[in-house]
Amino acid sequence: MRYSAGNVWRRGLALLVVLLSSCSGLYEDQIGKFDWRQQYVGKIVDGAFDTSSVDRIIVATESNVLAAISAKTGDILWRQVLENGPRGTIKLLHVTSPSATGARLNRGSTGYDVITVTGSNPALVRGWNSNLGTLEWEWSLLPSVAEESALAAVWFEHDGLLYHVVPVWGSHLEVTPYQAVSGQQARTTTSRIAAGWIAKDRCTLAGTFFACGIKEQMLALDLAADASSTVVSKPLGAEAIGRPRAVRGEPAVIQNGRYYSLRSDQKLTFGSSDAALVDRMVQEGEPILLQGMIDRATNKLTVNAHRLRDFVRFEPIEFSTEFSETLGDPELVAIRCKQSSGGGSSRVATGLACRVLLSTEDGAIVLVQQGKIKWVREEALAEVETADFLDLTLSDAEGAIEEELNNKNAEENGLEWDVFGAFQRRITAQLSHVKNLILHVLGVGPAPSKAQRAGLVRDDFGLHKMLIVVTSSGKIFGIDNVSGKHHWVRYLPTFTGFGNEQPMKLLVQRTSRFYPLPAQCVILGREKSDTKKALLYVFNPITGQPVAGGGLIELPYRVQQVALLHQTGADFLKGILLLDYDNKAHVVPESLAVHAHNFYLFTTYQRMAQMRGFLVQYRAGKLETLPTWQIDLSGASKSQQIIACEGKSPIEHVHSQGRVMADRSVLYKYINPNLVAVATNGPDNIHKYILNVHLVDVVSGSIVFSMSHKRIRPPLHMVHSENWLVYSYYNDKARRTEITSIELYEGKTQTNSTVWSSLDAPPLPMVERQSYILPMAVAALKETITEKGITSKHILIGLTTGAVAEMSWALLDPRRPVTSPEKAREEGIVPYMPELPLPHEILINYNQTVAHIRDIHTAPSGLESTCLVLVHGLDLFVTRVSPSKTFDLLKEDFDYFLITVVLVVLTTTSFVVKQLASKKLIKQAWK
């Protein structure tokens, strides 16, 4: 058969089109179907309205973000996420204005709209395009001063020059001006201004003045003036309390509740939480002072305005508006006004239309337009500390069934139950359901419950849950894990974390499974005041409402350890066991103290690298704490410090206790529920840094296994589950990120198949270990978890690039053979390769990157195959993963019509064949 060249070309083109159309890396119809992402910028450090646009606000935040926000909707127009840590800390944000000299001189191909200064050693000066958010130019400065002085350095802009100010506490100030675009010094030498009165944590930069509250006076220097400028002194009348607050837009400070101008003799009285802002563009260069006051009794925000020249009230921009109790004390950031004109062709000016940008203590960004709140951005979610997924309540119909079953059980226990009574109640309940259905169809039925109306009811597969999120500012959110909607918000202004990177704790005392009892959670934190005493906030996680009495419990002691009791009381409530710094145990509520008998606790001391174990006993109505063991992990040089401590999840289930080998024998897992992984790191004279990993039984205090890594530095991330441990670290010698996996086995025989006891001196385990190379740096590690533990375990790896990879345990298996892989193939083990692949197919957030990933939280769903995942950092990303595929769920493209037709045909055929067979038998019988 012959083919012409044209036919071959057309056939090849058609085949190519078919192949291209079938090569799709992502199902577009599933984007956002089972996941969602919310982006944030963080708490504002500085901000300004962009005068080149009516709909743009430029902000710099504590999360090292430079962003443009729409003034109309509050959406992010563009966002630049800068370096993480101190290197990306924004020390200066300068937005040019049309009247600014620097803007007129520098705009153009080599100009700028926005200037930022980040970091200290080196400091990076950048110019940005405010329209697109693109980087126009950049230069760096490496100061030749001590590290402490470099960190305390501040910057300000004046007349087109950038001034770098380095304070040497108790001695002098070093001031150097630079050309903004080129980075050249405007002066040949650095000015050294003698200022022996400057002190750490007592000074601030207010405009061009460096001001300090020293004893009973305010001392300040104008750094933009001549080097021999005199010191400005303002008497305070009392001892200066804390650091003075700089007033935006004017060289002035607020100290001890008073406003002090550094250019004039003006002195005004302010409240302790009042905000101040000076703006010169409201009325043709006339400085206007705005004073913001919040009244918590009525939750109202009042903003007053005065002309700064004579302090006459400026009524066009004064207003009072409702301010939610879920928002912290506000700070005035920026204001922009324009003349509002009346109708008709005359366009006569009738007043000012103003927008005021606020930043609250909890991190929220608020825009007030014409005296009313236009939008609020909950930027507290950029600093999430802990989170958890909780089951929703039952629907009204399911609740009625549960209530009926509860009544039935109560009657059975009371020996008043009989068959006819149960049958009567069952018929009555069914008739009631039919009645409610008919009334609902007619539109006159009983009103559904509040949870039913809000859609907060449990689904069939347990995929719909309430996501409880606790932030570092003390704000709590109840978020729908399916839609991302914020159902409720609570603000705890007195709460904070425990320090030493120990956040507030979220404890679940009772879930929603015990109908009709509501779910109950507890937030454990400490006071922000100097007392640092423990605080408890008890609330319903579904509605966000506190329990009776306000939900706030103040404890008269400081807490060093907390744990949930295993047993519950009569109302299915778990008690909270607290250990104070006097090593005394307490239980909240006290009625559940009896369940703390023979409870084991342990504490860790990070700097000393010590661990201590305690036994809690309940005797004669009181709790006693007995020290049981103590371990010192600081090493011979006493230089090691604990950098990580990871236990097993309390809700984890182990489905299989063994592993089948190639010869059909069983290798039993070493499943010790009391095992905790502890990592220590410290300097070494020979190997620079040493990382030690210890597996400690926290009941007996015995060290089960230890391993050392040389020339290893943090960050360290650990995952501890079942009989294995996985941790990642940075290899300073090879200059790469590595990940090590450890598996523990008892051997071919099991010590005790029913009960595990750490006090019976179990045998030391067999240890399998292996290390691998990761091509990218790790930001977080977490394992998947399911309801019964049947599904395979996968490791979720949060990368510094913002991606989250789902790594199969088969690739991290420490039993991957280096040589002789024949037997391993029979077990299905992959041969060893040092490099771990990271293909794009294993990224669960595809192109929905999460900036500055901090942690990953996982929770089981009602489906054994599915695990719920929360990734948080600067953004929030929620999704679901199925490590073993959805083996317990039909696929989306399942053909229900075809299977229905097949079943109907088979059923009809069976009846027809049955009739034909019976007729045949009758005919054969008559022959």
Element (H, E) at 15: helix 5-22
Q: Is 827 exposed, middle or buried (0-12, 13-18, 19+ CB in 10 A)?
A: middle
> What pLDDT is recorded for position 188?
80
SS3 513: coil
pLDDT at 777: 94
Cα dihedral sign for 165, 166, 168, 174?
Answer: negative
**How many contiguous H segments (helices) and E segments (strands) does the chain have?**
9, 60
pLDDT tier for residue 91 given thresholds of 50, 70 and 90: very high
d(C-alpha 436, C-alpha 438), whole Å: 6
Give the Cα separation of 730 and 777 in Å (integer).
Answer: 8
Residue 667 has pLDDT above 80, yes or no: yes
Q: Which residue has the tokens 């259905």?
A: 437
The per-residue DSSP string of 153-166 comes to -EEEEETTEEEEEE
Confidence of residue 448 (pLDDT cuts 50, 70, 90): low
pTM: 0.89
Distance of alpha carbon 772 from the chain centroid: 28
Partners of 365 in beta bridges: 359, 377
* Structure confidence at residue 23 as a pLDDT band (50, 70, 90): very low
- pLDDT tens figures, 169-205: 999 999 999 998 888 888 888 888 989 999 998 999 9
Spatial separation of the C-alpha atoms in residues 136 and 112, rounded to whole Å: 7
Decide which of 378 and 439 is more confident. Answer: 378
pLDDT of residue 265: 85
CA-CA distances (angstroms) from residue 742 to 718, 728, 773? 11, 12, 15
- Alpha-helical runs (H) found in 585-673: none
Q: What is the mean pLDDT of residues 64-70?
A: 96
More confident: 417 or 61: 61
What is the Cα–Cα distance from 518 to 516, expressed in whole angstroms?
6
The string of pLDDT tens digits covering residues 571-595 is 899 999 999 999 999 999 999 999 9
Q: What three-state secondary structure class fits 289?
A: strand
What confidence score (pLDDT) does residue 339 get? 79
pLDDT of residue 19: 46
- Give the closest residue to 740 by CA, choosing from 701, 708, 788: 708
Check whether 926 has a pLDDT greater than 90: no
> CA of 295: how far to CAs of 216, 274, 299, 330, 372, in Å?
30, 10, 5, 11, 16
Cβ atoms < 10 Å from Cβ of 401:
14
User: For tokens 């207003």, what's the residue?
Assistant: 319
Confidence of residue 356 (pLDDT cuts 50, 70, 90): very high
d(CA 174, CA 425): 87
416: CB partners within 8 A, 6+ apart = none
CA 294 to chain centre: 29
Span 141-153, average pLDDT: 85
Decide if pLDDT at 98 tops 60.
no
Q: Which candidate, 38, 46, 88, 93, places its Cα nearest to that of 63?
A: 88
> pLDDT digit string (tens) for 263-314?
888 888 887 778 899 988 887 778 899 999 998 889 999 999 988 888 888 8
Q: Is 182 exposed, middle or buried (0-12, 13-18, 19+ CB in 10 A)?
A: exposed
HSE-up of residue 789 (Cα within 13 Å, Cβ side): 11
Q: Is residue 8 predicted with pLDDT exceeding 70? A: no
- pLDDT for residue 29: 66
**Residue 244 bridge partners (DSSP):** none
In this structure, are residues 68 and 133 in contact, taking their beta carbons and an 8 Å threshold? yes
Chain centroid to Cα 771, Å, comes to: 29
Which H or E element spans position 101? helix 101-106
pLDDT of 849 = 94
pLDDT at 394 over 50: yes
pLDDT at 459 over 70: yes
